[in-house]
């Protein structure tokens, strides 16, 4: 790829910036530095919004249903809750919203199905939440995925995406875990923190809006115990899913 082409691709993402969720983040600016400017996504008529990821995004969706804006196709989690608000709030914009998250997925799994489950849909807004399984499988199933592999594979995925969809608006969800709840033991730390840091670095590198879910779940425990938001420490309860959806909506102008 030529230098000019690479420069064009990186500059063509709209929505570079940070999240300043007043309720969930306590008005804190979550950023990487002064040069990382605050911005939110402006939706256009006919936008195609895709939620992509693992079980936290999947949540029992009908994987044979490829329809846009269909309850069964959107699952029962934050993607459905965010989609319902989007469709209600922006009824005149003719949005098309999809969910292709699959339970248990890691970045290598996304790579294998990316052409069909992402690029073929041609999203104009792409929201990705991936990473908890990339680490978790090293704990419970002996997977050998390193944090370096997680980061490089994620980078390759986004580079391919920008080559095919240079104007896509990216939202990167930080993988999260509620420490001391369910599966989340001391064995996760400090190694899991490096996967989270990699997701944050990727968001910065690709000028994506970052959803700092770890900070959001940490702050939520000031009002209710961790299990109230994620019963097993990873998968959100109904309250946790609504909190995630609200944070996601805070990315939209």
Q: What is the percent of the chain with per-residue pLDDT over 70, rounded to a whole number? A: 85
Q: What confidence score (pLDDT) does residue 39 get?
A: 79
Of the candidates 62, 13, 22, the one whose C-alpha atom is nearest the C-alpha of residue 165 is 13
Q: Tell me whether the omega of the peptide bond preceding residue 190 falls within 30 degrees of 0, making it cis.
A: yes
**pLDDT tops 80 at residue 82:** yes
Q: Which CATH number fits domain 3-249: 3.40.50.1110, 3.40.50.2000, 3.40.640.10, 2.60.40.420?
A: 3.40.50.1110
pLDDT tens profile 182-229: 999 999 999 999 999 999 999 999 999 999 999 999 999 999 999 999
**pLDDT tops 90 at residue 77:** yes
Q: What confidence score (pLDDT) does residue 144 get?
A: 82
Give the catalytic positions in this structure.
Answer: 55, 232, 235
**pLDDT tops 90 at residue 141:** no
> What is the rounded CA–CA span in Å between residue 199 and residue 106?
13
Q: What confidence score (pLDDT) does residue 58 get?
A: 98
Q: Is residue 217 within 8 Å of residue 24, measured between CB atoms? A: no
Q: What confidence score (pLDDT) does residue 154 get?
A: 98
Question: Residue 105 has which token pair?
Answer: 């997925």
Question: Residue 74 has which token pair?
Answer: 């959107």
Which pTM does this prediction carry? 0.86
Of the candidates 50, 176, 61, 206, the one whose C-alpha atom is nearest the C-alpha of residue 114 is 50
Sign of CA dihedral 4, 32, 19, 161: positive
Instruction: Provide the β-strand partners of residue 48.
Output: 96
> What is the rounded CA–CA span in Å between residue 81 and residue 176?
19
Report how far apart, in Å, the C-alpha atoms of 80 and of each of 101, 149, 183, 252 are. Answer: 12, 31, 25, 16
Burial state string for 7-33 with b = 16 or more CB within 10 A and e = fewer than 16: eebeeebbbbbbbbbeebbeeeebbee
Using 50, 70 and 90 to split pLDDT, how confident is the model at 70?
very high
- Spatial CB neighbours of 27, under 8 Å, sequence gap ≥ 6: 20
Q: What confidence score (pLDDT) does residue 215 get?
A: 97
Q: What is the mean pLDDT of residues 140-167?
A: 94
Instruction: Provide the β-strand partners of residue 169.
Output: 125
Question: Residue 191 has which token pair?
Answer: 């190694």
180 phi and psi angles, rounded to 5 deg: 85, 0
Least confident stretch, 11-20, 129-138, 164-173, 194-203: 11-20
Sign of CA dihedral 28, 125, 94, 40: positive
Using 50, 70 and 90 to split pLDDT, how confident is the model at 57?
very high
- Write down the domain spans for the chain: 3-249
Q: Which residue has the tokens 């608006």?
A: 169
Instruction: Provide the β-strand partners of residue 41.
Output: 252
Rg (C-alpha) for the chain, rounded Å, is 17
Q: What is the DSSP string of 138-163?
A: HHHS-----HHHHHHHHHHHHHHHHH
pLDDT tens profile 26-48: 333 333 333 333 579 999 999 99
Question: Residue 171 has which token pair?
Answer: 């939202």
> What is the rounded CA–CA span in Å between residue 212 and residue 90?
25
């Amino acid at each position: 790829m030529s230098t000019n082409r690479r420069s064009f691709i990186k500059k063509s993402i709209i929505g570079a910036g940070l999240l300043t969720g007043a309720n969930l983040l306590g008005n804190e600016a979550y950023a990487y530095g002064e040069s990382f400017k605050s911005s939110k996504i402006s939706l256009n008529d006919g936008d195609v919004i895709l939620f992509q990821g693992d079980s936290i995004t999947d949540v029992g969706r009908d994987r044979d249903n490829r329809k846009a804006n269909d309850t069964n196709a959107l699952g029962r989690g934050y993607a459905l809750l965010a989609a319902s608000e989007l469709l209600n709030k922006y009824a005149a914009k003719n949005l098309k919203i999809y969910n292709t998250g699959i339970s248990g997925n890691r970045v290598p799994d996304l790579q294998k199905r990316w052409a069909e489950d992402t690029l073929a849909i041609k999203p104009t807004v792409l929201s990705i939440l991936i990473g908890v399984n990339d680490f978790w499988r090293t704990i419970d199933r002996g997977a050998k995925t390193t944090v370096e592999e997680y980061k490089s594979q994620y980078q390759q995925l986004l580079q391919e995406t920008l080559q095919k969809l240079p104007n896509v608006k990216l939202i990167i969800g930080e993988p999260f875990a509620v420490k001391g709840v369910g599966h989340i033991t001391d064995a996760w730390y400090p190694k899991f923190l490096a996967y989270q840091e990699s997701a944050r670095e990727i968001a910065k590198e690709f000028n994506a809006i970052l959803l700092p879910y770890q900070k959001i779940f940490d702050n939520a425990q000031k009002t209710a115990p961790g299990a109230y938001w994620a019963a097993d420490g990873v998968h959100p309860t109904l309250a946790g899913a609504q909190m995630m959806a609200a944070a996601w909506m805070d990315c939209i102008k």
